[in-house]
Structure 1
Amino acid sequence: MTLTLQIIQFVVIISILVILHEFGHFLPARWFKTKVEKFYLFFDWKFSLFKKKIGETEYGIGWLPLGGYVKIAGMIDESMDTEQMQQEPQPWEFRSKPAWQRLIIMLGGVTVNFFLAWIIYSMLLFSNGDTYIPADSLKYGILVDSVGEQLGLRTGDKILAVDGKETKKFNDAVLQIILGDEVTVERDGQQLTVPLSDEGKATVFQQQGRNFLSYRSKPIIEVVADSSVAKDAGILPGDEITMVGNQKIEYWDQFREIIGTSKGEDINIKVLRDGRTENLSLRVPDEGMIGVQLDFKDLRVTDDYDFLASIPAGFNRTIKVLTDQVRQFKVIFNSKTGAYKQVKGPIGIVEMMSPTWDWDFFWNFLAMFSVWLAFVNLLPIPALDGGHVMFLLYEIVSGRPPSQKVLETGQIIGFVIIMGLMAVIFGNDIWNIVKRFIE
């Protein structure tokens, strides 16, 4: 059921993004009186699941869920309809329109993607505010595992800046550390600048970024699961664990470490409850989980936005997401980090979906993916929107369009590049699944 829900979320998100992206091409094309022959969600190679002609446009759903397209008359695109291009240009065709109109048509898709993300982020900030854990004011510093230590970080450090820039939010700081070159921390009362090694980042990507960097917290219980060891032992929400045996407990990671090394053993713990100390005992199960969740309320802050303030804040968040995605390419193309091995395709993205239907996750992921789609489509690769934009800019600057042969050759080269990348990404998804079974 979980996998089915994840697939449904992914398909719905992709469908929304593809339809709106292609509508971004469709609308200016019709505005400039350019004939649109097809408008398809997914690709209809050989056959389609559904199609209906309305006016001069055929609308349909293809069977191959790798995107979608609009087929604009008189344009060299993925359909490679060279027969049409050999006939005399007609006034309703793409090639007959001024270069500036064609440029607007080609930029329409990414423009819609950008504005969609901006609107979603603005509405989320207006309705929910922005709740986060500040990076520069963590009460108890950060918590790192052996991978984080390999990067040069230490438990208890306080993050001050990454690459010389202050980071407001802890989650942003984690991403900036992965993408950055150095991090400035406060350690034992001193300010230090720690270089971030490619080797350390490679280990982070091998572990897929799991738990290498978190934040220290007090061992205060917020939730106790039913039918759990903690429930049977008498632990209650609000309890603060102060001792295990004769060892004083100040932070949750200290308690978790003891639990991890005491599987199958009985331990005595002391908790602070309503100002009184209670003595409890429990047997640590073999899986090392006692069934509690922590209270992080003392670490979180919320910035609220009214409607007018949410608009520029949503724009800034969209720009930041776009900037981070551009910076990720620096890491991906650095062979020392091995980040290219963790690039996810459709299979990997499905696994990233929430196991339950979570509207906050849905809208945030939709906005993030919309920005990603805009960025990727603007890459100057023939067969992508950015490739068409590149040829159009050449025409505007030089005053003459590339020949039809150049456009056709570019389209073929771009198609081969994209198919090659997709094959690698799909292969990477499958290999990651195989590795999990092997391990």
Structure 2
Amino acid sequence: MEILIKASQFILSLSLLIVLHELGHFIPAKLFKTRVEKFYLFFDYKFSIFKKKIGETVYGIGWIPLGGYVKISGMIDESMDTEQMALPPQPWEFRSKPAWQRLIIMLGGVFVNFILGIFIYICLMWAYGEKYLPNENVKDGVWVQDSLAINLGLQTGDKILTVDGQKIKKFAGLSLEFINGNNFQIERKGEVIDKKIPTDFISQLMDRGKNSGPFLYPRYPFAIGKVSEDSPNLKSGLKAKDIVTAINGNSIKYYDEAKNILDKYKGQDVSATILRGKETKEIALKITDEGKIGVAFTTLPSKDLERLGYYDLADIEYSFSEAIPAGWNKSWKTLTDYVKQLKKIFNPSTGAYKGLGGFISIGSIFPDEWSAESFWNITAFLSIMLGFMNLLPIPALDGGHVVFTLWEMITGKKPGDKFLEYAQVIGFVLLIALLLFANGNDIFRLFK
């Protein structure tokens, strides 16, 4: 059921983005009186799930959910209609239009993607505002228990100040900042220390496995998740969600402080101070010879941490006018972060190529239960990502056509049809290879 919910959201988001992207080409083509022969959601190799001709355009849904397209007369595209191109140019064809009109037609899809992403982020800021843990409010530093964080030279209690000289706004954004960064600065017991992020940091992050979670956490109270069946304290009165605040009078604010105290009383009976809801209780506990009390630790929701006075959360509401710059800033950061990651993918030493994913990876980022906020957040991100990817100067993508058109406008020389055909084939092969690699990565990770 969870897979079905994820898949449904993915297909809905993808369909929306494809239709609007292709509309970005369709509308200016129609405005410039260019004939559009097909408008398709998904690809229709050999047959269509649905099709209907209205006027001069066939509208349909294909059976291969890898994208969509508009077939514009007189244009060398994924249809590779060389027979049409061999005939004399007609006034309604793309190739007969002035270069500036062709440029607008080709940029239309990308323009729609960027505008859609910005619009969605503005609406999200207006409807939901922003709720997050500010990094500056993690006053007692981070909790380090992951080997990757240890390898970076981090210790529990360190405060992360900057990455690449930029202050971190949201604690939840630390992982992404480290992925995109080259160096960072911490404060440890009042001393400011500069450190480098290893070139292969992304590779190390990927090798941990997709279910490993963040490599850095805020420090949490010692909250009980479950009392084990073989625990010496099974009948002590401990309950799930109890918070241990002291052992034999030794205060415990954070879970990471408990180990030393428990080791101090190995094999002994102790008195533990427990916070249960709004009540404080004293419970007798037995500590094993290994310094354990036989419980599973659990984290607490952000709201509970704020209620208990551990962290002050930011909860920002925006009017519509305030949401416009906030949504724009969110869009710009999304784009710049994506570009930084793309640069690292093209550097083999970073190992970022291991994180390249296909449809399984994209589908997996959707939540396993419906959330309008999450759905539109992911759709906005994908829209901006799709817009940028289509701008890449690769033949077969919009960016490739744009480069050839700009060359024509600058030099006055139009590339020949044969050259465009060969370029289209090369670009298509590159895209198929990238698609196979990305989806192959997904399959490899599933088996791994």
Q: TM-score, normalised by structure 1?
A: 0.89
Instruction: Name the residue aligned to 2:71.
Output: 71
Instruction: Name the residue aligned to 1:433.
Output: 446
Residues 43-87 of structure 1 deviation map (CA, whole Å, 9 limit, x = unaligned): 001111111111111011101010000001110000000111111
Instruction: Name the residue aligned to 1:272.
Output: 275
Q: Is the 1:25–1:70 contact (alpha carbons within 8 Å) kept by the matching residues of 2?
A: yes
SS in 2 for 1:293: coil
The code of the aligned residue for 2:375 comes to F
Q: How far off its partner does 1:236 sit? A: 7.2
Give the counterpart of 1:402 among 415, 418, 431.
415
In 2, distance between residues paired with 1:283 and 1:345?
49
* More displaced stretch, 332-341 vs 183-192: 332-341
Instruction: Name the residue aligned to 1:263.
Output: none
Give the counterpart of 2:393 among 380, 399, 413.
380
Structure 1: stretches of 5+ with no match in the other structure = 260-265
Instruction: Name the residue aligned to 1:417.
Output: 430
Q: How far off its partner does 1:146 sit? A: 1.4
> What is the correspondence of 1:331-410 to structure 2 with a 5 Å cutoff?
331-410=344-423
With over 3 angstroms needed to count, the CA separation of the structure-2 counterparts of 1:43 and 1:281, relative to structure 1, is: farther
In 2, distance between residues paired with 1:50 and 1:115?
29
Is the counterpart of residue 216 in structure 1 residue 186 in structure 2? no
With over 3 angstroms needed to count, the CA separation of the structure-2 counterparts of 1:354 and 1:408, relative to structure 1, is: same
SS in 2 for 1:186: strand
Q: How far off its partner does 1:29 sit? A: 0.8
Residues 8-60 of structure 1 deviation map (CA, whole Å, 9 limit, x = unaligned): 11111111111111111111111111111101010001111111111111011
Instruction: Name the residue aligned to 1:293.
Output: 300
Instruction: Name the residue aligned to 2:265.
Output: none
Instruction: Name the residue aligned to 2:181.
Output: 180
With over 3 angstroms needed to count, the CA separation of the structure-2 counterparts of 1:292 and 1:423, relative to structure 1, is: closer
> What is the correspondence of 1:134-213 to structure 2 with a 5 Å cutoff?
134-144=134-144, 145-207=146-208, 208=210, 210-213=213-216
Residues 350-404 of structure 1 deviation map (CA, whole Å, 9 limit, x = unaligned): 2222111111110100001111101111110000011111111101111121111
Instruction: Name the residue aligned to 2:321.
Output: 308
In 2, distance between residues paired with 1:82 and 1:165?
52
In 2, distance between residues paired with 1:3 and 1:352?
11
Q: How far off its partner does 1:258 sit? A: 10
With over 3 angstroms needed to count, the CA separation of the structure-2 counterparts of 1:108 and 1:269, relative to structure 1, is: farther
Q: Is the 1:347–1:426 contact (alpha carbons within 8 Å) kept by the matching residues of 2?
A: yes
Is the counterpart of residue 58 in structure 1 residue 62 in structure 2? no
In 2, distance between residues paired with 1:403 and 1:280?
86
Q: Is the 2:24–2:111 contact (alpha carbons within 8 Å) kept by the matching residues of 1?
A: yes
Is the counterpart of residue 47 in structure 1 residue 47 in structure 2? yes
CA RMSD of aligned residues (A): 3.1
In 2, distance between residues paired with 1:258 and 1:349?
45
In 1, distance between residues paired with 2:270 and 2:19?
58
With over 3 angstroms needed to count, the CA separation of the structure-2 counterparts of 1:111 and 1:256, relative to structure 1, is: farther
In 2, distance between residues paired with 1:313 and 1:348?
28
The code of the aligned residue for 2:355 comes to Q
Q: TM-score, normalised by structure 2?
A: 0.87
> What is the correspondence of 1:205-244 to structure 2 with a 5 Å cutoff?
205-207=206-208, 208=210, 210-219=213-222, 233=237, 235=239, 240-243=243-246
The code of the aligned residue for 2:5 comes to L
> What is the correspondence of 1:8-27 to structure 2 with a 5 Å cutoff?
8-27=8-27
In 2, distance between residues paired with 1:115 and 1:48?
30
* More displaced stretch, 145-154 vs 48-57: 145-154
In 2, distance between residues paired with 1:235 and 1:244?
16
Structure 2: stretches of 5+ with no match in the other structure = 263-268
Percent same amino acid among aligned pairs?
A: 47
